[in-house]
């Protein structure tokens, strides 16, 4: 401690006794003036940033309580020269040698929320809660490509529940069932038997999210999604169900029979909550658009559905 430290060079660490002695010989301010601790601190922060840009995954933001960050917080103290009456203070520690390597901290373990199967989640849900569950569902891969999950729409209480397969492009865009060309035909078919989608009918699909390119839903997608439809049936308690197309009919009735053998008669759907519900199977409107000759059969099916009391 024989010379004033040159500018930019860190002063050696002084203990309280040394500081009193420096003050007595009038050297304290001169010795401590360059506030080398601040410069050293700056250098450390820059090094940290450099490290961070090289190894971002391992370097955390400096912890204000850590020795690496301490000089930054201590900078104003080190710069202000203590007044004559100020109590002797220990200068912030200055580390000599290369700056310490930042220590990668362990991420605190975050407990993952348990994945509750759809069938369990829907069990006591109200219709509004069920809608919330559907629009935020991630139970299968279809959620990744959807714009909107399509819960269903219609009057409540609904006399009829109409069940289709899955949303198409327009339904995915608008979040509503049967709003494309098939939907226009469906509306015309329903109004032919005096039914309106706003007043008397609730329209839903077995699958709530659009399969890419309108491909057939996969078994795991059906398994993940069908509890939503079953809960809708329990809650809506429709007087009858009109099922449109082979896929929806086979899924709802749990059969592999052809649509030709399923249509033209009344099936009974047993639900956990309540009595059996009559089910009528008919052709899907998209199929009728491609094969208009089948419209007369579809008309028979609608009349059968309308005739049930
Ligand atoms: N086809 C369906 O099965 N459902 C829709 O919602 C639209 C088209």
pTM recorded for the entire structure:
0.65
- Examine residue 63 and state whether it is found in any structural domain, yes or no: no
Helix (H, G, I), strand (E, B) or coil at 282: strand
- Examine residue 200 and state whether it is found in any structural domain, yes or no: yes
Average the pLDDT over 207-235 and give the result: 96
Q: What is the pLDDT of residue 126?
A: 97
Q: What is the pLDDT of residue 85?
A: 41
Q: Strand 277-282 relative to strand 240-244: parallel, antiparallel, unpaired?
A: parallel
The pLDDT mean for the chain works out to: 78
Pocket of ligand 1, beta carbon within 6 A: 164-168, 171, 177-178, 182, 205
**Whole-angstrom distance, CA of residue 218 vs CA of residue 212:** 11
Q: At residue 206, does pLDDT exceed 60? A: yes
Nearest ligand 1 atom to alpha carbon 244: 3
133 and 39 inside one domain: no
128 and 245 inside one domain: yes
185 and 36 inside one domain: no
Cis before 9? omega within 30: no
pLDDT in tens, 74-106: 333 333 343 444 334 444 444 556 666 767 777
- Examine residue 49 and state whether it is found in any structural domain, yes or no: no
Number of domains in the chain: 2
Of the candidates 32, 18, 143, 139, the residue with the CA atom closest to the CA atom of residue 94: 32
pLDDT in tens, 157-188: 889 999 999 999 999 999 999 999 999 999 99
Q: What is the pLDDT of residue 28?
A: 54
Of the candidates 293, 307, 233, 229, the residue with the CA atom closest to the CA atom of residue 264: 307
CATH classification of the domain holding 260: 3.40.470.10
Given a contact cutoff of 8 angstroms between Cβ atoms, the answer to whether 203 and 190 are in contact is no
pLDDT in tens, 122-137: 999 999 999 999 999 9
Distance 167 CA to ligand 1 centre (A): 5
Helix (H, G, I), strand (E, B) or coil at 279: strand
> Between 94 and 302, whose confidence is greater?
302
Q: What is the pLDDT of residue 11?
A: 53
Probe target for ligand 1 pocket from 286, 287, 288, 289, with the most ligand atoms within 8 Å of CB: 286
21 and 161 inside one domain: no
Q: At residue 141, does pLDDT exceed 80? A: yes
Strand partners, 269: 277
132 and 279 inside one domain: yes
Q: What is the pLDDT of residue 93?
A: 46
Asked whether the CA dihedral 129, 134, 140, 141 is positive or negative, the reply is: negative
Distance 165 CA to ligand 1 centre (A): 6
The Cα-based distances of 159 to 71, 233, 308 in angstroms read 74, 12, 11
- Confidence band of 14 (pLDDT split at 50, 70, 90): low
Three-state SS for 106-134 is CCCCCCCCCCCCHHHHCCCCCHHHHHHHH
Residue 140 Cα to chain centre, angstroms: 13
pLDDT in tens, 238-251: 999 999 999 999 99
176 and 280 inside one domain: yes
Probe target for ligand 1 pocket from 154, 161, 205, with the most ligand atoms within 8 Å of CB: 205
Nearest ligand 1 atom to alpha carbon 164: 3
- Examine residue 109 and state whether it is found in any structural domain, yes or no: no
Under 8 Å CB-to-CB from 46, ≥6 apart: which residues? none
Average the pLDDT over 260-269 and give the result: 97
**Whole-angstrom distance, CA of residue 34 vs CA of residue 18:** 18
Helix axes 246-253, 219-236, angle to 10 degrees: 70
Lowest-confidence segment of 70-84, 151-165, 207-221 by average pLDDT: 70-84
188 and 39 inside one domain: no
- Percent share of the chain, pLDDT over 90: 59
**Whole-angstrom distance, CA of residue 300 vs CA of residue 296:** 6
Q: What is the pLDDT of residue 51?
A: 32
Q: Hey, which of 1-5, 40-44, 202-206 has the most confident mean pLDDT?
A: 202-206
Strand partners, 266: 280
For residue 93, the tally of other CB atoms under 10 A from its CB is 11
Give the residue numbers spanning the domain of 30: 16-44
Of the candidates 2, 6, 22, 5, the residue with the CA atom closest to the CA atom of residue 14: 22
């Amino acid at each position: 401690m024989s010379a004033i430290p040159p500018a930019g060079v860190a002063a050696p660490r002084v203990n309280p006794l040394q500081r009193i002695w420096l003050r007595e010989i009038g050297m304290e301010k001169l010795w401590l003036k360059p506030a080398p601790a601040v410069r050293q601190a700056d250098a450390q922060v820059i090094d940290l940033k450099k490290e961070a840009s090289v190894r971002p995954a391992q370097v955390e933001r400096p912890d204000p309580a850590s020795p690496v960050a301490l000089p930054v917080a201590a900078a104003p103290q080190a710069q202000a020269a203590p007044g004559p009456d100020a109590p002797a203070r220990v200068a912030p520690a200055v580390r000599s040698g290369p700056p310490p390597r930042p220590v990668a901290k362990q991420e605190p373990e975050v407990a993952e929320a348990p994945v509750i199967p759809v069938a369990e989640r829907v069990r006591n849900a109200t219709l509004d809660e069920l809608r919330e569950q559907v629009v935020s569902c991630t139970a299968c891969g279809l959620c990744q490509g959807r714009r909107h999950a399509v819960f269903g729409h219609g009057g409540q209480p609904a006399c009829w529940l109409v069940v289709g397969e899955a949303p198409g492009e327009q339904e995915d865009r608008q979040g509503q069932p049967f709003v494309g060309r098939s939907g226009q035909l469906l509306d015309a078919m329903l109004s032919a038997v005096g039914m309106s989608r706003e007043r008397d009918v609730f329209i839903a699909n077995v699958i709530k999210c659009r399969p890419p390119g309108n491909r057939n839903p996969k078994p795991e997608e059906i398994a993940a999604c069908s509890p939503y439809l079953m809960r809708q049936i329990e809650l809506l308690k429709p007087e009858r169900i009109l099922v449109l197309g082979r896929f929806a009919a086979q899924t709802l009735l749990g059969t592999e029979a052809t649509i030709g053998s399923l249509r033209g008669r009344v099936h009974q759907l047993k639900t956990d909550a309540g009595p059996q519900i009559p089910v009528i199977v008919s052709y899907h409107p998209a199929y009728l658009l491609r094969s208009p000759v089948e419209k007369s059969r579809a008309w028979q099916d609608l009349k059968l559905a309308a005739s049930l009391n």
